[in-house]
Amino acid sequence: MEQGGLIFTRGMSSAGRAKITRLNTNGALIKLGRGVYHDAEEFHLLLPSEQYRLRCLAAGIAGYEVVGVSAAALWGLPVSHIYSRVDVRGKPRVAPGLLRRAVPPECVIKKGIDGFEIPLTTPAATVADIARWYDMHEAVRVGDAAVIRRLTTIQALHEEEKRRYRRHGSPKMRQALRLINGLSESLRESDVKVALFRGGFPPPQQQTEIYDVRMVFIGRPDFLYPERSLALEYDGWNKTHGYYGNTADRAINLERARERRLVSEGINLIRITKDTYASGVWLDELKAMWNRGVPFPQSQLRGGGPAW
């Protein structure tokens, strides 16, 4: 049987199963899970993230309860690394390529994915478990995205935190969940937030609107320390290559004009790029500028919230 590019041995005759085994041995088919195969040539044309998602899907089709980063992949959440094994719950013995995890049974639901009923953890449980087992960056990225997409809520995350209070990795989990607030509008904003936390900085404000002295809106930087008139922005691809129908040149000019207005109001702005983020120089710039500013007038600020 074949469905959605997946080939199943369930219901096949002995001769049919033998043929699938030969094709797998010869490299024409790839085994994704127990009784689940895929055309090898087509599989290798897929992005690594989609290949991993199919492996997670195959585990669920085979009857395993999918958890952790593997459940995140099936929920369509932004997993930053391509992992070699699929996280599954329970069973004393699991097949090669699977990683057995301990998860409360009440956290597992069934979700229709690509025409299959897959057992997997809820979005809130998925985030909480990633926070226990993986790096903080991974947990905050996935958690912020889940909240922004309304797959879960901060309250639901707190409930999962309580459920895992004495489980392995719970201190690490509590630390990561503090940083998830649904205010990060990109993956890199989540990364910057984690870097600020790990760097020992106090929590900045996120997505706070800044107005000039005439109360005309200027902009909404990613992060703001109002008591120091210090803002940080991550310059993603859109800001230099055009967005909302703007050309690249117009996008750059609009950003520069906005930056000049912020500077005119007394805001010191640190722009973070892919390169400066990777090198960490933006953190050095932040430390160097930390004591230069004066408090920004609260009357010219609106909205936003603390990063943690």
Give the model's pLDDT for residue 4: 62
Q: What is the pTM of this model?
A: 0.87
Residue 281 domain-assigned (yes or no): yes
Residue 267 domain-assigned (yes or no): yes
Say how far apart CA 164 and CA 162 lie, in whole Å.
5
Q: One-letter amino acid identity for 219?
A: G
Indicate the pLDDT class of residue 240, thresholds 50, 70 and 90. Answer: low
Give the model's pLDDT for residue 52: 96
Give the model's pLDDT for residue 299: 96
Residue 122 domain-assigned (yes or no): no
Q: 99, 126, 142: which is the final residue of a domain? A: 99
Average confidence score pLDDT of the chain? 92
The SS3 assignment for 153 reads: coil
Determine how many CB atoms are found less than 10 A away from the CB of residue 200. 6
Say how far apart CA 252 and CA 151 lie, in whole Å.
34
Are 221 and 208 spatial neighbours (Cβ–Cβ below 8 Å)? Answer: yes
Structural domain including 9 reads 2-99
Residue 230 domain-assigned (yes or no): yes
Give the model's pLDDT for residue 162: 95
Determine how many CB atoms are found less than 10 A away from the CB of residue 203. 17
Residue 234 domain-assigned (yes or no): yes
Residue 110 domain-assigned (yes or no): no
* Mean pLDDT (whole number) for 245-251: 69
Indicate the pLDDT class of residue 11, thresholds 50, 70 and 90. Answer: confident
Total number of domains constituting the chain: 2
Q: 99, 119, 153: which is the final residue of a domain? A: 99
Residue 147 domain-assigned (yes or no): no
Give the model's pLDDT for residue 147: 98
Share of the chain above pLDDT 70, in %: 94
Q: 70, 99, 128: which is the final residue of a domain? A: 99
Residue 157 domain-assigned (yes or no): no
Question: How many separate helices (H) and strands (E) can be counted in the chain?
Answer: 13, 17
